[in-house]
Amino acid sequence: MKYAYITDLNGRYIEPTLVADSVTGVFDRREPVQSNEEEPQELPQKDDEQPNEPETVHVGYMVAVPLPAGLYEPTFDVQGYRQAMTDYEAAYAEYIAAMAEYDPEGEEPQPQPPSPVDGPSFWRNGLTQDEIDALQPKPEPSQTDVLGQELTQMKLKGIQQQAVIDGLGKELTKAKLEIIAMKGEQTA
């Protein structure tokens, strides 16, 4: 058993479901039409008539193609995948026809089979990059980062205070030298 994915009509992922390993591709999902009217009583059928099939409506797809990890609101390109499969089948039929005509002893090169369709590449994000970015939480600084910033601010404040003290010390020294010089002039 493996997973297949139920999507809506636009290919947007709804939920997973289990299918046999041999199931691959994309299939229409149909559901019976729900009517509000009472069901008309069935007329007796003759033995050779088929019973009436209930009316159904197309509601989405079952996608048996691997879903890559890390997609936001995954959406499958159903039409693109179906077109790629149609192109592959046509190319494969051409390859088979060419192989039927191929002569291994002749000078013509052996035909090469077409590359298979890369099904998972048809899954894409259903959200824009801006919407994805909005979902990402803003990283909060760790307690170590906060303490480191506070320590850095304290060191800067200490350096600034030391510069002020050094400036005041120079001014005081200059003033004392001026006083000594004045006293020296007075005594002379």
Give the pLDDT confidence of 115-142 residue by residue, as tens digits: 999 999 999 999 888 888 888 888 888 8
User: Could you give the percent of the chain with pLDDT greater than 90?
Assistant: 53
Cα 75 to Cα 11: distance, rounded to the nearest angstrom:
5
Cα 78 to Cα 28: distance, rounded to the nearest angstrom:
10
Query: Is the per-residue pLDDT at 177 higher than 60?
Result: yes
Query: Is the per-residue pLDDT at 19 higher than 70?
Result: yes
Q: Do residues 10 and 89 both lie within one domain? A: yes
Residue 184 token pair: 């020296």
Q: Do residues 68 and 86 both lie within one domain? A: yes
Q: Do residues 123 and 180 both lie within one domain? A: no
Backbone angles phi, psi at 128, to 5 degrees: -75, 165
> How many folded domains does the chain comprise?
2
What are the tens digits of pLDDT across the range 150-164?
Answer: 999 999 999 999 999
pTM above 0.75, yes or no: no
3-class SS of residue 62: strand
Q: Do residues 84 and 28 both lie within one domain? A: yes
What are the tens digits of pLDDT across the range 62-85?
Answer: 999 999 999 999 999 999 999 999
Residue 11, Cβ density class (10 Å: 0-12 exposed, 13-18 middle, ≥19 buried): buried
Q: Do residues 19 and 95 both lie within one domain? A: yes
Residue of 22, 2, 134, 128 whose CA lies nearest to 75: 128
Q: Do residues 48 and 74 both lie within one domain? A: yes
Residue 21, domain extent: 2-35+44-135
Q: Do residues 90 and 178 both lie within one domain? A: no
